[in-house]
Amino acid sequence: MREEIISKVLFDEESINRRVAELGEEITHYYQEQGVNQIVVIGILHGAVIFLSDLVRKISLDLQLDFMRVSSYGDSAISSGQVIITKDIETDIKGKHVLIVEDIIDTGNTLRQLTQMLYSREPASIRLCAFLDKEERRTTNMNTDFCGYVIPDEFVVGYGLDYAGKYRQLPFVGVLNRWVYEK
Ligand code: IMP
Ligand code: MG
């Protein structure tokens, strides 16, 4: 499968493992320095599940896991569309320290609307962690607090990221060959 659909491997399994371990330490230290020992980690389905499952095993804090699913409503080609919650968390986050975990931040529209919705539930704090960041594509003032890698504006798959629901299980991150989506 790799030879056919991937034009370039950006991060292999070994590099990802190292980077995710570093991120886990970074997150642990960040909260410990503020005297926070308990957090709620919210994974955004489906893209974040693989990253999240590796990441939480590298975080040395008490944590609760929960998941959300959101989708962009309206014209799917316009990423500034309205974001709606299609699966909500079951945790009451009032007064709690929340860490949102996403696969990738692109325009920032999804995370901007999501954090706005979650702030109305009065958590003690919300921090954002994205595995990948397409910084140059940003159209909002959203930024991550923790990020695995900044990447160029290319369509990538693997390690949770999909194209049309496929390729999430690839253990590396690769650029999708153009013919896959242009055919
Ligand atoms: P945003 O709202 O524009 O920041 O979009 C973020 C969402 O776009 C992510 O959660 C992904 O689902 C999707 N996305 C953006 N770029 C890629 C990519 O290169 N590969 C796979 N999904 C992507
Ligand atoms: Mg996604």
- Ligand 1 atom having least distance to the Cα of 104: 9
Minimum-distance ligand to the CA of 161? 1
| Ligand 1 pocket, residue 113 CB under 6 Å | no
pLDDT in tens, 130-167: 999 999 999 999 999 999 999 999 999 999 999 999 99
Given a cut of 60, is residue 76 above it in pLDDT?
no
Mean pLDDT check: name the lowest of 30-44, 62-76, 92-106, 145-159. 62-76
What is the structure's pLDDT at 181? 85
- Ligand 1 atom having least distance to the Cα of 102: 10
Atom 16, ligand 1: residue with shortest CA distance: 106
Average pLDDT over residues 4-29: 97
pLDDT in tens, 106-139: 999 999 999 999 999 999 999 999 999 999 999 9
Given a cut of 80, is residue 79 above it in pLDDT?
no
What is the structure's pLDDT at 80? 63
Between 180 and 63, the more confident residue is: 63
Mean pLDDT of the chain: 94
| Ligand 1 pocket, residue 105 CB under 6 Å | yes
| C-alpha 162 – ligand 2 centre gap (Å) | 8
| Ligand 1 pocket, residue 103 CB under 6 Å | yes
What is the structure's pLDDT at 72? 79
| Ligand 1 pocket, residue 133 CB under 6 Å | no
What is the 3-class SS of the chain, one letter each residue? CHHHHEEEEEECHHHHHHHHHHHHHHHHHHHHHCCCCEEEEEEEECCCHHHHHHHHCCCCCEEEEEEEEEEEECCCCCCCCEEEEEECCCCCCCCCEEEEEEEEECCCHHHHHHHHHHHCCCCCEEEEEEEEECHHHCCCCCCCCEEEEECCCCCEEECCECECCECCCCCCEEEECHHHHHC
Among 161, 173, 177, 181, residue to substitute to test ligand 1 (most atoms within 8 Å of Cβ): 161
| Ligand 1 pocket, residue 106 CB under 6 Å | yes
- Ligand 1 atom having least distance to the Cα of 107: 3
Mean pLDDT check: name the lowest of 18-27, 71-80, 98-107. 71-80
What is the structure's pLDDT at 127? 98
**Percentage of the chain modeled with pLDDT above 90:** 87
Given a cut of 70, is residue 177 above it in pLDDT?
yes
Average pLDDT over residues 84-93: 96
| C-alpha 32 – ligand 1 centre gap (Å) | 31
